[in-house]
Amino acid sequence: MSEMWARTALQTYRWLGAAIYPFMGTYVALRMTRGKEERGRRHERYGYSKLERPDGPLIWVHAASVGETGAVSSLIQKIRALGINVILTTGTVTSASFARDRFGPDILHQYVPLDMKPAVSRFLNHWQPDLAIFAESEIWPMTILELGARRIPQVLINGRMSDRSFRRWKKRIALAESLFENLSHVAAQTEQDGERFSALGARPVTVTGNLKADVDVPPVDEVDLRRLTSAIGDRARWAAISTHDGEELAAARVHKALSKYRPGLLTIIVPRHPDRTPGLKKALEDRGLGVACRSSGDPVTPATDIFLGDTIGEMGLYLRLTDIAFVGKSLIGEGGQNPLEPAMLGTAILSGPNVSAFTEAYERLTEARGARIVEDEATLAKTVHHLLSQPKVCEAMARAGARVVDEMGGALNRTWQALDPYIHPLRVQAALRSDGPEFRPSSSASGVGPARRSALGWK
């Protein structure tokens, strides 16, 4: 009965998607008015592309947003070094900009198609990937089923399963099993994540660690850093990064409370979604605060209370300007954000209690005393005040956080090992194409992948 229910649920999902597909233009257009879609690239959401598929093996890598894209950057570079083409899909305008800056023309980038059969089928028909790699928690039923039907291996890397997601899937265990059985491999971040994926029917599952601990230290423009450091001078400062709606105003209230004891305090706020800048700037100024926006090139002067870091790809700059970083989506939001970048750059880390998406990282950081969890806004203000008053405590937290990141390294090599059975045949094909373009391997097997079909001269 449960298997029948799962099949019925997936069929209903397919029918529902087909039914509403003709009306998705309104939804995409609405997102565009809010800055969440690029006007000239809306067609990509429906699986259309203005780009041609390159010859040879092709791997599809999907990363939802900026954080996931950064996490898979080194992996993509390793794939490209083998001569294998990569089509990277992301879901946000900010991640598209990040991918363009990080990779340039070395890879192909598209917005991920809507999880509806017409869009997914059109995307797969055009790109014909030989392997699909998804990052973290990207579970899209129609995409998984379409890849499975085409016998295209699909691997989930840096896989994580939050408490809430696990509870939801457990209530629909037959549905979970019918989806996760299509995954060729799951490379999970932690033992707990691995156990959860296994319980939901994924096979095989290996624990490889968190790729975000293996990324390069966020870069910085040294000229900008020197200029801003000079402008700030010896002012006390702290940062609230990757903040979500409501946390910016909480940081502003903390700023006003601490300014009574620390005249000249500068608060750096880096919203997770910079498109919210106009509303944020007005809300902050309405509270009597002087605001300088990075995107506008506003100078930081003695009258500046809030430096609004509303740009993409400059987290390395903002974190180098402070010794204290509160990491958002944890006080008012849910799940938290990645604390490893601030740990890499030597900041004392603060977070709200809602960090279920990064449980292991925060457990290790707090156990090593590299991070502190604050329960509410008042506790945040007290803790920031304490750290500003005790620079040695702040330095000790920074050193502890850096040690934790070092200890968590190695995820990239372990993930590469998990992917090797799927990448190695494509590596051979790429090498054969470069060494002998006229080579035509023979095969009598059915269901061969598109790179093999291309090599055989099939259409």
Whether the ω angle into residue 437 lies within 30 degrees of 0, i.e. cis, is no
- Angle of the 173-180 helix axis to the 2-20 helix axis, nearest 10: 70
Of 77, 89, 90, 87, the C-alpha closest to 57 is: 87
Residue 370 CB-half CA count within 13 A: 25
Q: Per the structure block, which two tokens stand in for 271? A: 């919203």
Residue with tokens 């939804």, as numbered in its chain: 27
Of 46, 39, 44, the C-alpha closest to 23 is: 46
- 319 dihedral zone (left: phi>0; alpha: psi -120 to 50; beta): alpha
Is 68 catalytic? The answer is yes
- Backbone Cα Rg of the chain: 24
Q: How far is it between the farthest Cα atoms of the chain? A: 78
Residue with tokens 């291309």, as numbered in its chain: 454
Q: Which of 37, 68, 314, 377 is catalytic?
A: 68
Q: Where are the alpha helices (DSSP H) in 47-92?
A: 66-81
- Say how far apart CA 433 and CA 425 lie, in whole Å: 12
CB 88 within 8 A of CB 107: yes
Handedness of CA 204, 210, 215, 221 (dihedral sign): positive
Give the other-Cβ count within 10 Å of 283's Cβ.
Answer: 15
Beta strands in 69-222 (DSSP E): 85-90, 108-111, 131-135, 154-159, 185-188, 205-207
Which residues are part of the catalytic machinery?
68
